[in-house]
Structure 1
Amino acid sequence: MTNASPTFGGRLAAEFAAGHHLCAGIDPHEALLADWGVADDAAGAERMGRDVVAAAAGVAACVKPQIALFERFGSAGFAALERVFADAREAGLLVVADVKRGDIGSTFAAYANAWLMPGAPLEADAMTVVAYQGFESLAGAFTHVEHHGKGLFVLAATSNPEAREVQRAVRADGRTVAAAMVADAEAWNGAHEAARTAAGSTPDAVGSIGVVLGATLELADFGIETGERPAGPALPVLAPGFGHQGARIEDAHRIFGGIGQALLANESRSILRGGPTGLAIRIEERAAAIRTALEQ
């Protein structure tokens, strides 16, 4: 017996096989909207989002709207976001909702239903999440991952300086908080894949739960090993920091080592600055540079 719908990890693996590793950010900051020649409002954010989707389709692995920058416009912002998502679905482009939700019990389950439930107005393919209350606090989303082909990206090591104290803290089991997020995601993927295989499903090369690791960081400082990974599907790594923030995609193998086998390189300002003129060219150039660097 096989699963009726493809997994998020399986869809990512197909993008990687096609040479698509760029995650194109959609960040409608006021200054970037000015580059677009539009107002700092929901309509302007929608214009940016739909332009990026059109330019990224068939070139990038996914788009990642920064939800807070739509949410600031209230209901009009969410309506704009729905139309961006609809364009992405029509174009066959994966959407990672950058919502960074985290809570416990029924509250987190409600967040998961809002962003991952099939047919929901704001349905995305994956969402960013926070699991500092414990990895199992994400349980409300696991059903969507297991049965609806959805994905999660768990914050593990981020570039903001104020996060270092928490993420580098050592737990009672000897792991840093950041390393535990990585290990727990890998363990969940391994167990889920074993269950799928036992049920007759074709194994996936990539897991459906990934982590967020900043490309500007020294991962060893966070207790994260970058050597050989445990057996099982590759861990998806969503890596912000390339481009505008200073990390070079040419250094990806040094930065991530073995943990970067399923790397999504996120770029936002480097492709958004300049507005819609030349947008498709910038996305194509960055996608090609990322593909070349990761194939070496």
Structure 2
Amino acid sequence: MDEHGPLCVGIDPHASLLEAWGLPDTAAGVRDFGLRVVEALGGKVAAVKPQAAFFERHGSRGLAALEDVLAASAAAGTLTIVDAKRGDIGSTMGAYADAYLRDGSPLAGDALTVSPYLGFGSLAPAVELAAATGRGLFVLCLTSNKEGAEVQHARSLPDAGGHLGASVASVMAAHAAVLNAGAEPMGSVGLVVGATVGDAARATGTDLVAVNGPLLAPGVGAQGAGARELSTAFGDARRTVLASSSRGVLAAGPDAESLVRAARAAATEATAALRS
């Protein structure tokens, strides 16, 4: 982030983007799409974030394409966040962790998005393996979809005095803060917090500064959030925000130079908004 700007570029081979790039909606098409993004932006952005679903929809060949994109990113020296949002319990969560966080796994990136809504403790296999292998996690916390508030803003039942407990979002942030305590410059357990969630952190009592980890933020810049919105959403935690942009950059493709210009513009815009 210090070297390239606080920008993560999503690799989301939507059918419409494949068509715009002149590529077929096939496993070969998503592979070509992902590799072109990496070839153009590898070594030029803080991270790339392949969305696993768009590869998985093409079956085993799609997963092989994801493996190739991750390998190419590693060869280019660019960090990868596998956006798979995995979350389960016990041995099943352990198997997900093994697939996406184990050294030697072809599906392992540098970080993985995970869902904590079976309880933060259910993520223990992923937390432990990520720590053991030097990888990171981004835990869903305050997402920008309107349905997210149903769970994320919910509070525990009233106590004997009638006082509501902590919100779900604040509990997830507090768990991350414990895992990141004392880490410099920040810990490896981050949160996903939408840049357009407004004052949701304040309203839910979610202390983003105390998290001391990276905050992956979809929605910065062209997607709707400028300096004012970021100040409201993140406050003093803005220094740890990694802005995520997908279509805003990818729409400039398939020309490599156009992708680079779009990514640089997005990084500059994000830096200005987050540092203001």
Q: Same fold (TM over 0.5)?
A: yes
Q: Is the Cα contact below 8 Å between 2:223 and 2:248 reproduced in 1? A: no
Q: Which one-letter code corresponds to 1:178 in the other structure? A: A
TM-score, structure 2 length as denominator? 0.90
Q: What is aligned with 2:220?
A: 242
Structure 1 residues 19 and 81: CA distance shift in structure 2, 3 A: closer
Change (3 A) 1:81 1:189: same
CA distance in 1, matches of 2:39, 2:212: 29
Tell me the percent identity: 45
Report SS of the residue matched to 2:8.
strand
Amino acid at match of 1:43: A
- Is 2:174 the counterpart of 1:183? yes
Question: Is 1:48 matched with 2:33?
Answer: yes
| Cα distance in 1 between the residues matched to 2:269 and 2:230 | 12
Structure 1, unaligned runs of 5 or more: 1-15, 194-202
| 1:260 matches 2:238 | yes
Aligned length: 267
**Deviation string for 1:162-213 (max 9, x for gaps)?**
22111111025711111111111111211xx4xxxxxxxxx52111001101
- The one-character-per-residue Cα deviations of 1:79-129 (angstroms, maximum 9, x if unpaired) are 111110111000111100000000011100100110010100111111000
TM-score normalised by L of structure 1:
0.84
Query: Cα RMSD over matched residues?
Result: 1.9
1:138-287 correspondence to structure 2 within 5 Å: 138-172=123-157, 174-190=165-181, 193=182, 204-218=184-198, 219-220=200-201, 222-225=203-206, 229-230=209-210, 234-243=212-221, 245-248=223-226, 251-277=229-255, 278-287=258-267
Partner of 1:200: none
Larger RCO, structure (CA 8 Å, separation 6 or more): 1
Counterpart-to-counterpart distance in 2, 1:266 and 1:88:
17
- Identify the residue that residue 289 of structure 1 maps to in structure 2: 269
Distance 2:120 2:206 in 1: 19
Q: Deviation of residue 18 (structure 1)?
A: 1.8
Bigger Cα displacement from structure 2, 246-255 vs 29-38: 246-255
Q: Give, in whole Å, the separation in 1 of the partners of 2:96 and 2:34.
A: 22
